[in-house]
Amino acid sequence: MTDKIIEKYQNMLTDLPNVNKVKHVESKTSNITTSWGAQPWDELMVSRDILANFYDGCIEAKLSIDNVKISTKNDQIIVSSPKTKFALRKLFFLGSTKTEKEDMIGQHGEGYKMSVVSLARMSIYDPINISGSDALIVGVGNKCEETGLRPLIFHFFKINEQNGSYFIINTLSDKLKKAFEFGMLNFFHPKNKLVGSPLSEYNEIECYQSTSNDGVGFYRGLKRIDIKGIPIIINIKKPYAAIEKLSKMDRDRQAFSQKIQSNFFNIFCRSGFYSLASNVDVVHYILKSSKKTWKKGAPLLASLARHSYERLKNNPKLKKLFGKDYISESKFRYSTSITWSDWYSNSTQGYILRRDKAQRKTKTLLPSYFSAFGVESSLDAFLRNKENTEKRIKNKKTKDLSSKENKAIDFLFKASRSMSPGFAKLFNRENEEDNLYDVKFKKIFCKELLGELKNGNDYNSKIIYLHKDLFKSNFGRIFSIFLHELSHASSGGADGSREFSDCLTFLLEQSIEKNKKINLYAKEWNNYRV
């Protein structure tokens, strides 16, 4: 090491305020070169990692983060923490004495070296580090003839005692200065200017309003997520296996991946609340303040819905928030009141398509999970109508057929056998072992209820409802309705479906071809009118 370089560094130290004694201790060449690292860090990453050491120093000394001061005047960046000290020798080595159980950010002992390498690639050299009476300047050595690589050289000095710890670099880079000026926003602390009024705290998970239009997710004190369009601050203070396992290889501590973000929000919604239902005010704030994201959707909102377990579905405060201006998309996953087969039935899907088309003329469609917040979907409406109809049926709005009405139904089956024996055999009432579709008939007394049944009926159901007055009608009317309903029962298709249309078309064809036989049954019908 040349005396000129040592003299240069000594002069750099004595040029600092309050430094008047400097003694060179030693210079150590490291195995770290300016080519180390697959991808150099940008200004934001460099500032964040340098500041992380000061953040950890405050935590270790049990001091407020407010002790860290940042100055970017006179083409110089100075980070200072007057009440903390740091063992500068540790910066030479890879590895860290910090443990995962501590509230500290640094874990691998690589960050400072990567910061110096990245600064060198920006043509910013010779960062100064001071702690008490120790000083360190990290320089870049000459190219090795054999490899062409330039190593980092750590120059250790003793100086007169200083108050606390410092990091100093000389630079003209406005971009780097701004990165340091806003750098402390990357760390959670009560006086972070992004942190607004508190919303909730449970199980070492804190939630605050954000002073910005966007939010931030902090994990163990470090910013890891930008929450776009939702002004909320979430700080998960303790480690969780679901995050630690996936982020283990993220040594640069970059923003969380989509998968880890999902785990982060799930932990917040599942473990950060005593229950979502008991924290409706917080949920209301998140939903109200995120209105611009509703239509497109947001991962945090989806997680809130998923962990509400439908306990927020009928909350009046949330219902008032959405009013009647929105509908949610129908999805099977957000309903516990329908089976998989019923969801895929033609009647259910047909109702959803028809209602969605009508509703979207005046209302905004939101993602399906908004159903958990009380925004009605067409599936919700279908199930509600079906439930109301079933209640009315239970309240004796329908009855079993009388013996005379059953004879009339037997006569209609007889007529259908003459028209199409194969089709009629599907509903064989004489030998129940042979029938494929065991349909039941009930009479109904209210035309309004009959309409509800038509709209909400599951066509896989084998209960056919007929209005009581139908048994008084002429043969053409009751027989056509009879064939219509049997077509639904055999095809499982709703009105307009291909399955239903094909079946009914076949029966119409047969009735036309065999109209002479049908006419004979029409004349005989008068004997069965009720």
Q: Using the 3D structure, point to which of 185, 218, 252 is the last residue of a domain.
A: 185
Residue 84 lies in a domain: yes
Q: For residue 411, what are the domain limits?
A: 401-527
Residue 507 lies in a domain: yes
- Residues 374-399: tens digit of each pLDDT: 999 988 888 887 776 666 655 556 77
Bridge partners (DSSP) of residue 200 are 207
Q: Using the 3D structure, point to which of 185, 212, 242 is the last residue of a domain.
A: 185
Please choose, from the candidates 262, 210, 260, the residue with its C-alpha nearest in 3D space to the C-alpha of residue 234.
210
Residue 305 lies in a domain: no
Residue 338 lies in a domain: no
Residue 105: pLDDT band with limits 50, 70, 90: very low
Structure token pair of residue 291:
């209105």
Count of structural domains within the chain:
2
- Residues 318-336: tens digit of each pLDDT: 999 999 999 999 887 666 6
- The structure tokens 């038509």 sit at 454
Residue 88 lies in a domain: yes
- Residues 203-231: tens digit of each pLDDT: 999 999 999 999 999 998 888 899 999 99
Residue 318 lies in a domain: no
For residue 107, the domain's CATH number is 3.30.565
Please choose, from the candidates 318, 326, 328, the residue with its C-alpha nearest in 3D space to the C-alpha of residue 371.
328
For residue 158, the SS3 value is strand
Q: Using the 3D structure, point to which of 131, 152, 185 is the last residue of a domain.
A: 185
Residue 104: pLDDT band with limits 50, 70, 90: very low
Rounding to the nearest 10 degrees, give the CA dihedral for residues 111, 114, 115, 121. -170
For residue 32, the SS3 value is strand
- The structure tokens 């209960």 sit at 463
- Residues 8-25: tens digit of each pLDDT: 999 999 999 999 999 999
- Residues 227-270: tens digit of each pLDDT: 999 999 999 999 998 888 766 554 444 546 778 888 999 999 99
Residue 268 lies in a domain: no
Helix ranges restricted to H, 254-375: 258-271, 280-289, 299-306, 316-322, 340-343, 346-359
Residue 59 lies in a domain: yes
Residue 108: pLDDT band with limits 50, 70, 90: very low
For residue 414, the domain's CATH number is 3.30.2010
